[in-house]
Amino acid sequence: MPKALIELNHINKSFAGVHALKDVSLRIDYGEVHCLAGENGCGKSTLIKVMSGVHAPDHGEIRIDGELRSQLNPIEAINSGVQVIYQDFSIFPNLTVAENIALNGELAQRKKWINWSKMRQTAKQALDKVGVDLDLNAKVEHLSVADKQLIAISRALMHRAKLIVMDEPTTALTQKEVRALFRVIEGLKRDGISILFVSHKLEEVFELSERITIMRNGKNVISERTDQLNREKLVYYMTGRQIDESYYEVEKKTGTPLLRTDNLSLKGCFEHISLSIHPGEIVGLTGLLGSGRTELAESLFGLTPATGGLIYRDGQAVNIQSVQDAEGHGIAYVPEDRLTEGLFLEQSIERNMVVSVIDGQKDKWGMIDGKKVKSTVRSWIEKLGIVAHSPLSPVKTLSGGNQQRVVLARWLAANPKVLILNGPSVGVDIGSKEDIHQVIRDLARQGLGVLMISDDLPELRQNCNRVLVMKRGRIIGESEGKSFTQEVWSQLHDGHDEEAGLAENRGSTA
Amino acid sequence: MSNHASKRRGTDSSYDDLSFSIKRWLSSDGNLTRLFVIMVLVFVTMAILSPRTFLSLDSFSSMAFQFPVLGILSLAMMLSMISGGIDLSIVGIANLTSILAAMVMVRLIPEGASAGTSLLYIAVGIVCAMIVGILCGLLNGFAVAKIGIPPILVTLGSMQMFMGLAIVITKGQAIVGLPEQFSAIGNGSVVGIPMPLIIFILCIGAAYLLLNRRPFGMKLQLLGSNPTASRYGGIRNTTVLLKTYALSGLLASIAGLVMIALTNSAKADYGTSYILQAILVVVLGGVNPNGGFGKIAGVVMAVLTLQFLSSGLNALHVGNFFKDFIWGIVLILVMVINVVSPRMKWKRKPAG
């Protein structure tokens, strides 16, 4: 039996009443590429934070090289060779490549003076190990996402990493860059470094890993050699149900669209966007981070008004310069980042729910009508099945799924005609995800027009009747919803133009 | 879905109860309970230490004339702090506006005017002060909301500006000889209740309605807890902030009017120590310095606590400097209690 590098046994962890990890065990051997798979919100990230010493487990033990580590902290974890590359890479955009790679090491040695030439030398060595050639003096902010990732990997290697944990490393990469990353990972494996690859993308999981651990709802379901698993089994273990591929279909729409844009542009973000959404349609919009999809949504909602082109609501040209304009035209937006843009975390569920309709809940004296507010809140809690102790408790005490329902309720209470959803199921458990999808489909059937922005291909496939693909600020393709598979996505996105090179940078630094 | 809902309904019957109960209200907010206990404790301690002076009618009556000015200023400070900012210029506004009012009442009033005419000039002076107070507040609000300068810098600057302007106008001299009818506001009583106290109570009532019953109040609190989310939620951040600072200016001008009515004179550097005291009261009263939360009852209790402490120490013939020292200790003590006690609650029922 191969030697275990790190073992996590029966780990339990709770946050403010949410049991995030329930009796989870994980073992990674030397030189192994191990995949940690699971839906969003299943506890993958928490587990990583436990193994890197960020969170202390409530129960359970951590062994590194067979040695029990009861008080693991981040510095100890790094010294033991555990390196985590988070989604945002934790690099300093204003520093150069060499500084980013070698500065930590210099600082850790507590030297009084920095030896610049030695620093450049070590940085060069680290980059060579990964097998890439980057300008050491380039400012990191001007590099592509893929290059930033390579810098993060090089930096991890500097600390004699034995295990590199990569948290969803392919989210913002093009197909080509993913291939390059896989080659780097294979190289690391040959050098005896273990990789824990965290992902929910099935294709990658199968291609790369030797063993797979699957988590669901904070428990680990199975740990198995990759060749013992197949796609169906994997999906079953991840979701706990057989794949139920039902699709949302509507007959071809011809009348006046609810929302139409004509050559809509915002300098530096997107240009010549012409799309239309008919009543009853759920139109998907996807593209990599920085493709302009969020900026487009925020322009339609008046947060950053478009600089060119026209928006039509029910066939009438409208001028949307502010959120209030958008609201007035029946457009609602559920933002991408629920925690910073969507919610007032410390405030009550009630207040979070009525913020956008509070002006309509006044009595004849202009005071807030408590009864009206309560009945609004109560009816939405029931309609969306929000599980909460009391509407007066802070919204931060809710689970991700329930929080998302609160944001959704806020905008549905405003009775919109067009609903823009940005990442509606990010960080939401599977049960809530299904419920949210059901609510959206029901509303669409009643004539709401929906624009759903998402990275999640199955989500788009099952809920949208059409999917638009954006790249570098333009819509480059459209697919029928139910046939929008990984292959179609790659074909549309990577087939669009191969002269990428230079332009990649612009797409990814946004 | 429906079974979730029924599960929920079982646990929060209190949500549907619209009636009011002091017990529930106090227990709903641990901070208010603690503050109430501290207030009573300070009162009882002082009563025991100097029963004859502290518990006398004279002492109560003098307290009732003293704390309204600080109380009204604290309400002004509270509004800006709930928005996530701070207003250091309130005393500057109070002095500038009250000087303007005093000039109208003293210099413009014709010699030997009848009672009716002088009442008219008093009214003009009061209205002038309030309008200028609102304008000063709008200036702060504009710099904060439209230009985007941090509130602490804006109001630090405008504090200097208002004070400087007041000194230039008065050449540093006090304006004395306010009409008698106006001084009655500062020193008179209605059915035994001092006028300043009545004005304070009116301000409390208005602020309460504004903060808790008007949509504006809810928007202010939401904006204070997350300005990004409020923008995404359709709140006009700029408008809310402009209104907040304008109200703060208005309250400051009212405090200024009460102040000159009490002292029967106006001067550019009156009450400068009130700025820090107002911050102290507001924070003591449980207003979150990061914005989003604040209860009027808390601020009122904090003002009373400090007044009891101050009058009690006076009765004990404790020097002014030592008084500051004790105020500081009380403030830090309350902070420590506020931070520590929720933690202890968490430990008692983990993962509730």
pLDDT digits 0-9 by tens, A388-440:
888 998 998 887 788 999 999 999 999 999 999 998 887 776 667 888 998 99
**DSSP 8-state secondary structure symbol assigned to residue A360:** G
Interface check B6 vs A, CB under 8 A: no
Q: Would you give the DSSP letter of residue A281?
A: -
For tokens 């291939």, name the residue: A179
Predicted confidence (pLDDT) at residue A136 exceeds the cutoff of 90: no
In this structure, are residues A333 and B180 in contact, taking their beta carbons and an 8 Å threshold?
Answer: no
Which residue has better confidence, A38 or A13? Answer: A13
- Per the domain annotation, does A248 fall within a domain? no
Closest Cβ opposite residue A391 in set B15, B228, B230: B15
What is the pTM assigned to this prediction? Answer: 0.77
Query: Regarding beta strands A474-480 and A466-471, do their DSSP bridges make them parallel or antiparallel, or are they unpaired?
Result: antiparallel
Q: How many CB pairs under 8 A join A and B?
A: 103
Query: Mean per-residue pLDDT for A144-156?
Result: 83
Lowest-confidence pick of A52-61, A250-259, A494-503, B145-154: A494-503
Q: Per the structure block, which two tokens stand in for A445?
A: 């059937």
Are A327 and A375 contained in the same domain? yes
Residues A47 and A213: their CA atoms lie apart, in Å, by 12
Chain B residues within 8 A of A406 when measuring between CB atoms: none
Statement to judge: residues A166 and A222 lie in one domain: yes
Rounded Cα distance between A450 and A277, Å, is 7
> Is residue A474 assigned to a domain?
no
Minimum CA–CA partner of A324 in chain B: B234
Q: Walk me through the domains of chain B, giving residue ranges and CATH numbers.
A: 76-336 (1.10.3470)
Do A51 and A72 reside in the same domain of the chain?
Answer: yes
> Which residues lie below 8 Å from residue B77, measured CB to CB, with a gap of 6+?
B86, B87, B90, B248, B278, B279, B281, B282
- The domain that contains A336 carries what CATH number? 3.40.50.300
**Is A489 inside a domain boundary?**
no
A381, A333: one domain: yes
What residue type is B224 in one-letter code? G
Q: Each residue of A185-238: pLDDT tens digit?
A: 888 888 889 999 888 777 788 888 889 998 888 888 888 888 888 877 877 887
The answer to whether B232 faces chain A, any CB pair under 8 Å, is yes
Average pLDDT over chain A reads 85
Q: Does A202 touch chain B (CB under 8 A)?
A: no
A384: chain B residues, CB-CB within 8 Å: 1
Q: What's the angle, vertex CA A67, arms to CA A64 and CA A71, rounded to 5?
A: 80
Q: Is B213 on the interface with A (CB under 8 A)?
A: yes
Closest CB to A355 among B8, B233, B293: B233
Taking CB atoms and an 8 Å limit, are A389 and B222 in contact across chains?
no
Angstrom distance (rounded) from CA A293 to CA A422: 9
Tens digits of residue pLDDT in B111-167: 777 888 888 999 999 999 999 999 999 999 999 999 999 999 999 999 999 999 999
Number of domains chain A is built from? 3
Last residue of a domain, one of A159, A176, A198: A159
Residues of the domain holding A337: 267-282+294-464
Reply yes or no on whether the pLDDT at B49 is more than 50.
yes
Structure-derived torsion over alpha carbons of residues A76, A81, A85, A86, reported in degrees to the nearest 10:
-30
**B2/A contact by beta carbon, under 8 A:** yes
Whether A74 and A184 map to the same domain: the answer is: yes
* CA B29 to mean position of chain CA atoms: 20
Task: Tell whether A17 lies on the interface with B, counting CB pairs under 8 A.
Answer: yes
Q: Which residues of A touch B4 (CB under 8 A)?
A: 385-387
- What is the distance between the alpha carbons of residues B169 and B104, in angstroms, rounded to a whole number? 13
- The pLDDT mean for chain B works out to 86
Q: Is the pLDDT of residue B345 over 60?
A: no
Assign B101 a pLDDT band (cuts: 50, 70, 90). Answer: very high
Q: Which residues, 6 or more positions from B118, have their beta carbon under 8 angstroms from its beta carbon?
A: B105, B109, B179, B181
Q: Are residues A102 and A72 in the same domain?
A: no
d(CA A92, CA A107): 15
Contacts of B351 in chain A (CB under 8 A): 14, 16-17, 19
User: Does B277 lie at the interface with A, CB-CB under 8 angstroms?
Assistant: no
The conformation of residue A2, written as its DSSP 8-state character, comes to P
* Nearest CB partner across the interface for A389, out of B12, B209, B236: B12
Question: Of B223, B226, B232, which to mutate for an interface test with A (greatest number of A Cβ within 10 Å)?
Answer: B232
In a domain, A17, yes or no: yes
Q: In the listed set A464, A485, A502, which residue is the last one of a domain according to the structure?
A: A464
**DSSP-derived secondary structure letter, A263:** E
Question: For residue A417, which of A260, A309, A296 has the smallest C-alpha distance?
Answer: A260
Looking at the structure, do residues A306 and A183 belong to the same domain, yes or no?
A: no
Q: Is the dihedral of CA A429, A431, A432, A436 positive or negative?
A: positive
Q: Which of B90, B104, B88 has the alpha carbon at shortest distance from B251?
A: B90
A61 plus A200 within the same structural domain:
yes
The verdict on A312 and A190 lying in the same domain is no
What pLDDT, in 10s, does the model give residues B153-201? 999 999 999 999 999 999 989 999 898 889 888 888 888 889 999 999 9
Alpha-carbon distance B222 to A351, whole Å?
8
Rounded Cα distance, B77 and B82, in Å: 9
Same domain, A407 and A329: yes
Is pLDDT at B277 greater than 70 in this prediction? yes
Residue A17 confidence (pLDDT): 63
Q: Which of residues 405-434 of A touch B (CB under 8 A)?
A: 410, 414
Q: What is the DSSP string of A56-78?
A: --SEEEEEETTEE-SS--HHHHH
Tell me: do A180 and A70 sit in the same domain: yes
Among A401, A454, A128, A129, residue whose Cα is nearest residue A282: A454
Q: Is residue A38 part of a domain?
A: yes
- Residue count of chain B: 352
The reply to whether A4 and A126 lie within a common domain is: no
Give, in degrees to the nearest 5, the angle at Cα B116 between B115 and B120.
Answer: 115
Q: Tell me the residues of chain A between 182 and 201 that have a Cβ less than 8 Å away from chain B.
A: none
Task: With beta carbons under 8 A apart, name residues in chain B contacting A333.
Answer: 232
Taking an 8 Å cut-off on Cβ atoms, the answer to whether B8 and A387 are in contact is yes
Nearest alpha-carbon partner for A272 in A262, A260, A286:
A262
Q: Which of B213, B292, B352 sits opposite A368 (nearest CB)?
A: B213
